[in-house]
A and B are shown apart, each in its own frame.
Chain A
Amino acid sequence: MSGDENGVVQFGRRRFLGATGAGVAASALGLGTGRADAAPDPAIVEVQDWARFLGDGVAVRPYGKPSGFEKHVIRRDVEWLTASRASSVSFTPLHQLDGIITPSGLCFERHHAGIAEIDPAKHRLMVNGLVERQTVYTLEDLKRFPGRVSRIYFLECAANSGMEWRGAQLNGCQFTHGMIHNVMYTGIPLKTLLEHCGVKANGKWLLAEGGDASSMTRSLPLDKAMKDCLVVWAMNGEALRPEQGYPMRLVVPGWEGIMWVKWLRRIEVGDQPWHHREETSKYTDLLADGRARRFTWIMDAKSVVTDPSPQAPLRHKGPAVLSGIAWSGRGTIRRVDVTFDGGRNWRRARIGGPVLPLSLVRFYAEFEWNGKELLVQSRAVDDTGYVQPTKDELRRVRGTNSIYHNNGIQTWLVRTTGETENVEVS
């Protein structure tokens, strides 16, 4: 067993199986208290209702839902953040999820005029402007195009972690980092549609427009549209959820979520950007000198430990599994490091699943908690060589008023009680 002074013991396979450690390990896992007079476990010795009586038959639940014991696993909002829930945000419960795919019903929501409930038979996608053939498509038309693909991408709101610029504020990774989800999309490349309409030589920018009551618009450079954007109708194998843009949305891999226009109804081709509301008054990054960056599309490399975290405190001394997610809008996550002592010493985390470009990556670090205070952080590195900065490093460049693109390293303080708090450290 190797340890350090910070409450963390490296938990290796050798130690777990070793003869000297066997008794300790069994005790730590709660495998039998060693007392011969212990009362037998009623969960074992009593026949439970579900083991005696018949359960629901097939078709009683024609669309399956999570167990009733999971009803606390839901999106939540922070009411004081916004004036109206119709133009607000709900957050993904990252601390209760695992793997890399976000269940469709738990993907965070950001609406600017509520959820549009659209009859797909009445939905149209128009391509107009600087194209040879201004065209109207139905959903059925899109499904008949050659070249359909499925791709897994993260979608992060540019304002994710935006409340944390001036210091630790919200207690929970759901609230500090929950404006992200990771989904498999199915649709056709936007390039296919644009080539079908024939972009004119002077076409350099697109305006993507939603069919909701905000008529959301964003300008998108043609190069990105031709590179990897998709028009999709499915997520995780089924139709998009209404709150995610049913019946069709734009997918803009690696770029800020506001550009992934939901309820997509129109794409206009032009020769200049439009400088609309969501790319001027919002989604621009005000720096300390009073000037602002615009068109900050790419989401930089970022990571967060989801367990332990304020909503997922440590409940057991002994063996524990740290878990978290990492992502980069510039490419593929190459490595993730974790620290238990606030960044004095780090170790490599273990990647526990698929490593895909522009997708969440799941990492783990097994450790043994001896009940001392921990300061937990994670640090992501992507394949462009970008190393996730500390919040202080970000503030030195950007000040505290940029709202968007806060990808700084997150710290959780685990107390001796296991209670975990959002903090910032020196």
Chain B
Amino acid sequence: MSRFRSLASVAALLWLLPAAPALAQQPISAPALGRPALPAEIAAWDIDVRPDGLGLPPGKGSVREGERVFTEQCAACHGEFGEGVGRWPAIAGGRGSLNDDIPGKTIGSYWPFVSTIFDYVRRAKPFGNAQSLAPNEVYGVTAFLLFLNDVVDDTFVLTRENFASVRLPNAGGFYDDDRETAERHFWGREPCMRNCKAEVKVLSRARVLDVTPEDQKGAPKVD
């Protein structure tokens, strides 16, 4: 921080010199912009957590404690067992369904990292009252969600120390974008312009499903 101030004062001194107007044209004059972030400010906003546990606050929470918070603050939308109410997302179940016709993508079946649960609950939950949970409550809710997904048993206590030892079943289920190799055949084709297929049949129609909002329907008139 002191270094920051000294840079600013050097810039201020230069301002008084005859050559200063030329210097002011350079991007180097930018140290005068912004100010150092204070440690308390960084601590208030830098709450993100990574898979290796970097960013976790001190604390711990049990499955039992998490169940209490979840029942009060989360179950109205996600369901008592994480099954999802109405169109709210299911967050448990679906194990082994990822290559089914209708896959169930939940924490237990799909999410790769425990840290994602902790980070998301800490920054965005409960929906409509974000960042209102204490660290121990976030640990507890995370532990309870692991329990709902059969990753830990009901006596489990999640702590910063044991965090990195907990693995989700689908951790190995992801790989980096490979479109440029797996879909290489979409490049460099000469687009067909004439007699590209023998016949054309209509295979599916939106009107069969009829799910478009109501005020978009109605037949036009042609002249």
Contact = CB atoms under 8 A, between A and B. Distances in A.
A241 interface: no
Nearest to A380: B191
A170 interface: yes
A86 B128 CA distance: 9
Contact of B209 (A82, A169, A345, A347): A169
Interface in B104-135: 105, 107, 110-113, 115-116, 119-120, 123-124, 127-128, 130-131
A113 B124 contact: yes
B41 A126 contact: yes
B146 to A, nearest CB: 15
Interface stretch (A9-17, A271-279, A360-368): A271-279
Given A293-B177, A341-B200, A277 B115 contact: no
Interface in B177-223: 177-179, 182-183, 186-189, 191-197, 199-207, 209, 211-213, 216-217, 219-223
Contacts of B200: 341-344, 375, 425-426
Contact of B203 (A133, A170, A341, A425): A425
A290 B102 CA distance: 11
Contacts of B116: 275-277, 280-281
A387 interface: yes
Interface string A223-262: 0000000000000000000000000000000000000000
How many chain B residues sit at the interface, stated as a range, is: 35 or more
Contacts, number: 272
A277 B35 contact: no
Contacts of A141: 33-34
A11 B176 CA distance: 48
Nearest to B44: A126
A343 to B, nearest CB: 6
B125 to A, nearest CB: 10
A423 B220 contact: no
Interface stretch (B10-18, B46-54, B159-167): B46-54
A317 B196 contact: no
A196 interface: yes
Interface string A136-171: 110001001111000000000000000000011111
